Amino acid sequence: MPSHHQIFQGRPKDDARGQIESVRGAVVDVVFPDASLPPINAELIVEWDRPTQLILEVHSHLDLQTLRAVAFQSTAGLARGVAVRATGREVTVPVGEAILGRLLDVTGAPKDNGPALPHDTPRRSIHALPPPLTAQSGTTDVFETGIKVIDLLTPMAQGGKAAMFGGAGVGKTVLVMELIRAMVEKYEGISVFAGIGERSREGHELLTEMQDSGVLARTVLIYGQMNEPPGARWRAPLTALTISEYFRDQKHKNVLLLMDNVFRFVQAGAEVSSLLGRLPSRVGYQPTLASEVAGLQERIASVAGSAVTAIQAVYVPADDFTDPAVTTISSHMDCVIVLSRAQAAEGFYPAIDPLASSSMLLDPLVVGQAHYDTAEAVRQALARFRALTDIISLLGVEELGAADRLIVKRARRLQRFLTQPFMVTEAFTGTAGASVPLVETLSGCRAILDGAADDWDESALYMVGTLDEARQKQAQQTAAPVSDAQKPDKPAQAAR
């Protein structure tokens, strides 16, 4: 890439002046009649009479004097002929210790009603190449989350990329919030959260929760919310990546990068693409879908001594897992966690589909033979139960053979044991959250597979942490039996 000092030919780098030619939503055409055009990705500042700053990023050159740029803030009230100044650099954002504990927008401006950032805060361009392959380090260290179904069936890697895929209302954000809470508390590195195209309410809740739990001091929050222009939502993840790369490369710290929701990044890119006049590709997405997603995901990399671990929520439009955006994003992931509407409808939370989810780390060479064998046995039992579901609904479980009846009995108990109350939902459910060590998860599943819970009531295993808690629950239910009319609905519904 050319040096910032060589951007303009024949003029000082900050002296190139242009004016607005046309405005189409977030896309603006600018004419530079007396200067060389700033290069692609260069930053332009609109010199208008509004109190809010308006920053543009050069996207393409239309001819020798006209360029097309994308706005990062609202262009409402922007008129033709307004002056535009080229800064001579790419869009930069603040990085370093000063931004820890702060909430920033896509350009790095504080939005938490706190003090302004110090003038000597270092800044970095939001555009960077991923580390060369020779500098990247692979890792097989398992990132233990305390969530039973994830640790058992879809283990995450320290320095890996994991994504939660799910439709509307199946619990993606709740799961990401629980992962933030679980990991940040026992995690010594830096956390960077990117809220891409999400609701303002969710951003406010996350900020308040982090303040209350005392982890905000090691966290940076970046927001490009759904009420902001597509340019802000499109570039917000790059801002978060730039901050993560600084702590990884300069401070040599491990970084936990959380993004909610990556689909909104793709959606913002599609909005920008249509405003730029490009012909749409499959299902109306932008023709540059694969390269945009790759440009984002390939920058999430670990180098020797410092890891960037990414956990991403991905909305699945209309529960269609063949959607081009979903398939493109999933191809970059080490760990794919699929949230199922059927699981949520039956009351099994977290609503993770154990058969559709997968992880590259579920290998005996990585997690050990005992973990691998237990996970495979659980999958086989659940898969057999799912295969028999239609027969059971038509003829009843009594028509199955003895071996299948036993598998169904244990699979139903495994289903309930893999549910778990979350700490972030305590206020809504009234049930104390649980974090379960991997050792307890494995021993509990193995005991159920071996028949230790065959005589227990199914509801004793529903929404508990360890098997010991389920044993205590079973003992209490046995000691104080209740009539069917008094039993709570939820486990009964879930049992169906």
Enumerate residues 6+ apart whose C-beta is below 8 A from 249.
303, 306
- Structural tokens at position 226: 């759904």
Catalytic residue chosen out of the listed positions 68, 124, 148, 172: 172
**172 is annotated as an active-site residue:** yes
β pairing state of 190-196 and 219-224: parallel
Give the ranges where 72-227 is alpha helix by DSSP (H).
148-153, 172-186, 200-213
SS3 412: helix
Q: Is 490 a catalytic residue?
A: no
Residue 405 is among the residues annotated as catalytic for this protein: no
Q: How far is CA 462 from the centre of its chain?
A: 27
**Structure token pair of residue 26:** 């977030």
Q: Which residue out of 24, 50, 199, 282 is catalytically annotated?
A: 199
Catalytic hit among 198, 228, 245, 271: 198
Find residue 196's DSSP bridge partners. Answer: 224
Classify each residue of 138-175 as buried b or exposed e, where b means 16 or more C-beta atoms within 10 Å of its C-beta. ebeebbbbbbbbbbbbbbbbbbbbbbbbbbeebbbbbb
CA 221 – CA 306 distance, rounded (Å): 20
Whether 329 and 314 have beta carbons less than 8 Å apart is answered as yes
Asked if residues 420 and 434 have their Cβ atoms less than 8 Å apart, the reply is yes
> In the chain, what's the furthest Cα-to-Cα distance?
89
CB-based contacts of 257: which residues, under 8 Å, 6+ apart? Answer: 191, 192, 194, 240, 241, 244, 300, 308, 309, 310, 311
Provide the annotated active-site residues.
172, 198-199
